[in-house]
Amino acid sequence: MVSQEERELHVLAVDDSPVDRALISKLLRSSKFRVTSVDSAQRALELLDLESNVNMIFTDYSMPEMTGYDLLKRVKGSSELKKIPVVIMSSENVPNRICSCLEEGAEDFLIKPVRRDDVSRLCNRVLRC
């Protein structure tokens, strides 16, 4: 019998801002995702190493030490992780940055503040839920 936890899609939210982490977690939970949130790309990689059931990653772009773009490259460069859709979020609308992320395989690039409609749209498109 499949548990509720197993039925729920699992999203990893990565953001060094506690405010933005709380907001994106709430948005995702409102869309019925199970959410794990971490405050750095490094912690995200550690978690991805331990957990095999992450269905999607939402990550901030600008983070100290390792950016969301760096995380994206690590995920897409890994044979175990590359199929996980990655969405980048940023408060800055920088065309070069957006292009680089999309070329590197990001599913989408959202300008903060992220809205409920953004999450629903992505959910429908990427995970067919």
Which residues form the interface with another protein (CB under 8 A)? 16-20, 22-23, 26-27, 30, 62, 64, 91, 112-113, 115-116
CB 112 → another protein: shortest distance, Å?
Answer: 6
- Rank residues 19 and 50 by Cβ distance to another protein and give the closer one: 19
CB 116 → another protein: shortest distance, Å?
Answer: 7
- Rank residues 79 and 96 by Cβ distance to another protein and give the closer one: 96
- Rank residues 48 and 59 by Cβ distance to another protein and give the closer one: 59
- DSSP per-residue codes, the chain: ---HHHHS-EEEEE-S-HHHHHHHHHHHHHTT-EEEEESSHHHHHHHHHH-S---EEEEES--SSS-HHHHHHHHHT-TTTTTS-EEEEESS--HHHHHHHHHTT-SEEEESSP-HHHHHHHIIIII--
